[in-house]
Structure 1
């Protein structure tokens, strides 16, 4: 029945600033804001999934929680390894998460994926994530370089 995620939505305080940010990430703007609304949509995977950005000052004031104001974009392992350099070239800094400094991707061995985290202009949590080819129930979270030694 369910074949994937079609859309996700985030609140933003300044739609034009957010449009610029998400364009920098390489997403394709598919629906421009109209006079009667303050929403824009970007294709993540054209024809398959998109993200909606809604200008809403009150919603942006909702404190971040992983269940709110978060989206994860799937990337390749190679792109994840280069994410810090790429994002810094765009003026975007990685942020700490799970107690790990933003040095390199971190790995959740039990789930078999690696990720990096950063914020959009409104503090919405953005994640680049990739699936790894193995899992481990014996290891705790670690940096990707440590995972690759196992």
Structure 2
């Protein structure tokens, strides 16, 4: 995917938030800013618009950033150091995240937070692909403990 778009109330305030995520501005005008996600490959576009009043739904106002698996254990602290609060998701509190999503035959580790306009953001990392294995959603910590016990 090359680009995704989100509505915002106050462009400058929200630009400051996304800069905390270490995103680079590719283009900015009075009502729109383009941030590189992967320079030359994908970007996130923020529009200052009244459409920000559209009630949240993941099909409309949700973006997930793929991060490398080794970074998933540190992402919570990295976000909190920047003053970004983790939000509850799928019945898991902020303390229980990152969590493991059961999307058989895939499994992903994920952590959820919001931008200043209530757009849902996620950092996600694949744990396994195309492997059927029944399990309940759980914290990444629990997932790792189970996998470690299975290897011993």
Query: How far apart, CA to CA, are the structure 2 residues paired with 1:39 and 1:119?
Result: 19
Note the residue ranges of structure 2 that are not aligned, 5 or more in a row: 148-152
- Name 1:64's counterpart in structure 2: 56
User: How many residues end up aligned between the 2 structures?
Assistant: 142
Query: How far apart, CA to CA, are the structure 2 residues paired with 1:137 and 1:59?
Result: 41
- Name 1:54's counterpart in structure 2: 47
CA contact under 8 A between 1:112 and 1:136: conserved in structure 2?
Answer: no
Note the residue ranges of structure 1 that are not aligned, 5 or more in a row: none
Query: How far apart, CA to CA, are the structure 1 residues paired with 2:9 and 2:72?
Result: 28
- Name 1:21's counterpart in structure 2: 17
Q: Which has the higher helix share?
A: 2
Which residue, out of 92, 101, 108, partners 2:93? 101
Measure how far apart 1:66 and its partner are.
1.0
Per-residue CA distance 1:25-77 (angstroms, 9 max, x = gap): 0100010114xxx0000000000000100001x21111111101100000012
- Name 1:129's counterpart in structure 2: 124
- Provide runs of 4+ in structure 1 moved above 4 Å: none
